[in-house]
A and B are shown apart, each in its own frame.
Chain A
Amino acid sequence: MDTVFIDGLSYGIPLLCIAIGGIYSERSGIINLALEGLLGMGAFTGSLFVAFFGGFFVQHSSVPMYFAFLFAMIGGALFAMLHGLLCVKLKANQVISGVVINILAIAFTGFFTRQLNSQVFGQPSDRINLGVSVRFDIPFLSDIPIIGAAFQRVYPFQLVIIAVVVLSWYLLYKTRFGMRLRACGDNPHAVDGAGISVAKTRFVAVMISGALAGLGGMSYAYSIAASFSPGIYMGTGYLAIAALIFGNWRIMPTVAACMLFGFARSGGQRLSHLLELPASYSDLIFTLPYVVTLLVLIFFSKSNKAPRALGEIYDKGKR
Chain B
Amino acid sequence: MENIIEVKNITKAFPGIIANNDISLEIRRGEIYALLGENGAGKSTLMNILFGLYKPDRGDIILRGERVIISSPAHAASMSIGMVHQHFRLVEDFSIAENIVLGIEPKHRFLGILPYVGMTSVNRKIAQLSRDLGLDVDPEMKVSDAGVSIRQRVEILKMLYRNAEILIFDEPTAMLAPQEIAYLLKILKNLKEQGKTIILITHKLSEVKEIADRCGILNRGRLIGVYDVASTSASDMAAYMVGRELDDELPPPPQDFGDVVLDVSNMSVAQRGLKCVDDVSFSVRAGEVFAIAGVDGNGQKELADALAGLIDVSGGSIMLSGQDMTRASVRQRIEAGLSYVPEDRHGIGLILDFPLRHNLALRRYYVSPFCVNGVFKESVFDDFSTGLIENFDIRCGQGGHTVTRSMSGGNQQKAIVAREIELASKLMIFVQPTRGLDIGATRAIHKHIMRQREAGHAIFLISMELDEIRVLADTIGVIYDGRINRIAPARELSTEEIGEYMMGVKV
Within 8 A of A (CB), among B269-294: none
From A175, A187, A195, contact of B91 by CB (8 A): A187
- Among residues of A, the one whose C-beta sits closest to the C-beta of B44 is A319
Within 8 A of A (CB), among B462-507: none
Please, which residues of chain B bring their CB within 8 A of the CB of A183?
91, 94, 102
CA of A174 to CA of B119, assembled, Å: 10
CA of A120 to CA of B466, assembled, Å: 79
B156 → A minimal CB distance (Å): 14
From A174, A182, A319, contact of B85 by CB (8 A): A319
Within 8 A of B (CB), among A167-198: 170, 174-176, 179-180, 182-183, 186-187, 189-196
Q: Is the CB of A193 within 8 A of B73?
A: yes
Please, which residues of chain B bring their CB within 8 A of the CB of A187?
89-92
Q: How many residues of B contact A (CB 8 A)?
A: 26
Please, which residues of chain B bring their CB within 8 A of the CB of A319?
85-87
Please, which residues of chain B bring their CB within 8 A of the CB of A193?
73, 85, 89
Please, which residues of chain B bring their CB within 8 A of the CB of A182?
91, 93-94
Does B103 make an interface contact (CB < 8 A)? yes
CA of A195 to CA of B72, assembled, Å: 7
Does A153 make an interface contact (CB < 8 A)? no
CA of A180 to CA of B91, assembled, Å: 10
Q: Is the CB of A180 within 8 A of B116?
A: no
CA of A189 to CA of B105, assembled, Å: 17
Does A308 make an interface contact (CB < 8 A)? yes
Knowing A179-B102, A195-B74, A196-B103, the reply to whether A190 touches B89 (Cβ < 8 A) is yes
Please, which residues of chain B bring their CB within 8 A of the CB of A191?
91, 102-103
Does B199 make an interface contact (CB < 8 A)? no
- Among residues of A, the one whose C-beta sits closest to the C-beta of B53 is A316
Q: Is the CB of B90 within 8 A of A190?
A: yes
Within 8 A of A (CB), among B70-110: 72-75, 77, 85-87, 89-94, 98-99, 102-105, 107
Knowing A179-B98, A195-B73, A195-B74, the reply to whether A174 touches B116 (Cβ < 8 A) is yes
Q: Is the CB of B115 within 8 A of A176?
A: yes
Q: Interface digits, A146-171 against B, CB 8 Å rule (1 contact, 0 not)?
A: 00000000000000000000000010
Knowing A176-B117, A195-B72, A319-B85, the reply to whether A186 touches B103 (Cβ < 8 A) is no
- Among residues of B, the one whose C-beta sits closest to the C-beta of A316 is B53
From A174, A190, A308, contact of B117 by CB (8 A): A174
B105 → A minimal CB distance (Å): 5
B148 → A minimal CB distance (Å): 16
B116 → A minimal CB distance (Å): 4
Please, which residues of chain A bring their CB within 8 A of the CB of B77?
195
A-binding residues in B (CB < 8 A)? 53, 72-75, 77, 85-87, 89-94, 98-99, 102-105, 107, 114-117
B-binding residues in A (CB < 8 A)? 170, 174-176, 179-180, 182-183, 186-187, 189-196, 308, 316, 319
Q: 12 additional contacts, CB 8 Å, given A183-B102, A193-B85, A196-B102?
A: A176-B105, A176-B115, A180-B103, A183-B91, A186-B91, A187-B91, A190-B91, A190-B99, A195-B74, A195-B75, A308-B92, A316-B53
Pick the 8 closest A-B CB pairs, nearest first: A195-B74, A194-B103, A190-B89, A189-B89, A193-B89, A194-B102, A174-B116, A186-B91
16 sampled A-B residue pairs with Cβ under 8 A: A174-B117, A175-B116, A175-B117, A179-B105, A182-B91, A182-B93, A186-B92, A187-B92, A189-B89, A190-B99, A191-B102, A192-B89, A195-B73, A195-B74, A195-B75, A196-B102
